[in-house]
Structure 1
């Protein structure tokens, strides 16, 4: 098997995907990236049979030429993957160009556009709120009449909370019109009065079967984070609500993706859930480490097993909560880093420095801690986040 990794160096915490694949018998791992070869850590260099440096990964023609060279030298590619939201469309284009297994551009429409996602959520029988695509001022007026205030306006093709507006009155609508370029298609939908966003996350095998499932709950919604610059914090759930699992599996079946991670967001609505968004990859940041700590597993190795026709390893330990809590360099906190280490000695798994590209939204230092107790989890959240 020839497996092509796009951007094997960045993000750095995804490097184990390449390293674990290289340990599998019969797998040749190739890489295309824009970092100089000498910048790659030794373990990563050793995992790559060949690395082709391009000037710019954004230049798809350059990446295609690099892939064509690797095919000429090593034979047909069996897989191409980055696991990164930013490169999903390019990954799909490469698969189509070189006839490689996996999601092609035509498959991504349902995971790129919020309006399309909603169709598949409905097909799965999962609750959604009313919404419509807005491409003109006429559409805005129609949305006000059809959906009514309050509404949320999001780019129909967008990631996270970027470019999101909360519309509660006509003045908000005017602000939106002033900020809108008139070209970007937006998706307007009914505002859900819920402060809890939770997820159904996991991995499907080459036949589309869920072989790993988990979920996380945000302390602050992504919209809150964007508007208020609060500290990002979320936790991997110790166990999943059966209703959430039922909805999540129905969505997986409706979307029909194969051999991929997934990250599906829901509003918690009383005892029920409302589907928000399907992400055709795992949650970003240090979430993969949090999954591993919560479940005492190695998802990097599990993925390598699944790609080569195997399955995930036996789960030997009961899951725990795993908290990811970030702090900002510019914020004054009541408790120092030393205080955190003393209070939660034995519970802190690691402290990571957030890449600069994500630090403004999410914070600078990320603490990953585990606990079996919801009470202790709440204490961790309050203690780490308490400001002066």
Structure 2
């Protein structure tokens, strides 16, 4: 099998995908813009060949690189990056070279908020009313039919970027002043709940869920963005059966294969409202958080799925795993040495966040395990407690 990785060097933790694929005897090829010498020995040894391009954003240049590797090594069986930034290019390359996996036409349902909502409804999962807004006429219609408060977000966008809460006419006027008039927006009813949770996992080549988990956000993504909070989320030791039922129905409705997924929900009292489907793993170091919570190796499990094997047995019961960040510009009550001394072997790792994620999520990430949610919340308070100004 020939497996082509787009951007094998970045992000750093995703290098492990390439390494585990190679361990399975797969011929792994790579295309990126970093010099070969920068890749490091482990990644170099895992790659059969690496093709450096001048600009990974240049689709034509990347297509020529794929054509060369195809000519030299034979048909390519998979193209993948697992990275939100490259999902559309991955799909375009699969279409161009007739390769297994999501094509551009299939990405529509995972890229556009308005399309996601159709599939959530198809799955029988609760959603809130929403409308596509392309002009001020559409905007007036949304205000009349949905009413304030609303959330306005790009129909094709990631997370909470360029998102507005519209509580009244003043907010709407502010939005109009900032809107370029070209970006298509999606207006939907505001959900008062601040509790955002997820249904995340991995499906095999037949679309069967082979790994599933769930985590809670401390702050909803919009609050994290607008108030510059310390990011914190934690994997739960078990999934609420209702959330699991909704999540599996959504997976079936979307029909993706051999992929990670990351689905966000509002928790509304004892029910859930589907918010967003992401056709990839959650960002940053979240796969590592899953691994610590479940005592597994999802990088290896993914490689097993690619070659048609089952995932490894789960010998240990899941536990809670917290990921929480701190920002360099802020002063905290407890030093990192104190965190290490206080939590000992519960502190699994400390990571510096990539620059692309740091502005939103924070600069230093701490991962810790715990046996109960009360301890998790105490950990967040201890690590994120700031000195009084």
TM bucket normalised to smaller: over 0.9
Q: Residues of 1 paired with 2:374 and 2:172: CA distance? A: 42
Who is 1:83 aligned against?
82
Large movers: runs of 4+ above 6 Å: none
Q: Residues of 2 paired with 1:354 and 1:17: CA distance? A: 19
Q: Which runs of 5+ in 1 are unaligned?
A: none
What are the Cα deviations for residues 346-383 of structure 1, in whole angstroms up to 9, with x where unaligned? Answer: 10000000011111111100000001122211110110
Q: Residues of 1 paired with 2:14 and 2:83: CA distance? A: 9
Q: Residues of 2 paired with 1:22 and 1:56: CA distance? A: 26
Who is 1:59 aligned against?
58
Q: Residues of 2 paired with 1:41 and 1:314: CA distance? A: 31
Secondary structure of 1:187's counterpart equals strand
Is 1:337 paired with 2:336?
A: yes
**Superposition TM-score, scaled by structure 1 size:** 0.99
Who is 1:49 aligned against?
48
Q: Residues of 2 paired with 1:204 and 1:143: CA distance? A: 36
What are the Cα deviations for residues 135-176 of structure 1, in whole angstroms up to 9, with x where unaligned? Answer: 000111110000000000000000010000000010000000
Secondary structure of 1:166's counterpart equals strand
Alignment of 1:110-121 (within 5 A): 110-121=109-120
What are the Cα deviations for residues 70-112 of structure 1, in whole angstroms up to 9, with x where unaligned? Answer: 0000000000000000000000000000010000000000000
Who is 2:190 aligned against?
191
Who is 2:201 aligned against?
202
Tell me how far 1:343 sits from its aligned partner: 1.0
Alignment of 1:163-178 (within 5 A): 163-178=162-177
Is 1:20 paired with 2:20?
A: yes
Who is 1:122 aligned against?
121
Secondary structure of 2:95's counterpart equals helix
Tell me how far 1:334 sits from its aligned partner: 1.0
Q: Residues of 2 paired with 1:135 and 1:256: CA distance? A: 29
Alignment of 1:91-240 (within 5 A): 91-240=90-239
Secondary structure of 1:65's counterpart equals helix
Who is 2:265 aligned against?
266
Q: Residues of 2 paired with 1:253 and 1:180: CA distance? A: 36
Is 1:325 paired with 2:324?
A: yes
Q: Residues of 2 paired with 1:230 and 1:375: CA distance? A: 21
Q: Residues of 2 paired with 1:323 and 1:155: CA distance? A: 30
Secondary structure of 2:291's counterpart equals helix
Q: Residues of 1 paired with 2:134 and 2:228: CA distance? A: 30
Secondary structure of 2:344's counterpart equals coil
Who is 1:5 aligned against?
5
Tell me how far 1:338 sits from its aligned partner: 1.2
Alignment of 1:303-382 (within 5 A): 303-382=302-381
Q: Residues of 2 paired with 1:96 and 1:85: CA distance? A: 18
Q: Which runs of 5+ in 2 are unaligned?
A: none
Secondary structure of 1:213's counterpart equals strand
**Superposition TM-score, scaled by structure 2 size:** 0.99
Q: Residues of 2 paired with 1:21 and 1:357: CA distance? A: 26
Q: Residues of 1 paired with 2:249 and 2:146: CA distance? A: 26
Who is 1:277 aligned against?
276
Secondary structure of 1:264's counterpart equals strand
Q: Residues of 1 paired with 2:96 and 2:212: CA distance? A: 32
Q: Residues of 1 paired with 2:310 and 2:262: CA distance? A: 20
Is 1:301 paired with 2:311?
A: no
Secondary structure of 2:345's counterpart equals coil
Is 1:71 paired with 2:70?
A: yes
Q: Residues of 1 paired with 2:356 and 2:123: CA distance? A: 35
Secondary structure of 1:49's counterpart equals strand
Secondary structure of 1:346's counterpart equals helix
Who is 2:29 aligned against?
30
What are the Cα deviations for residues 3-25 of structure 1, in whole angstroms up to 9, with x where unaligned? Answer: 00000000001000000000113
The alignment of Structure 1 onto Structure 2 pairs a total of residues equal to 387
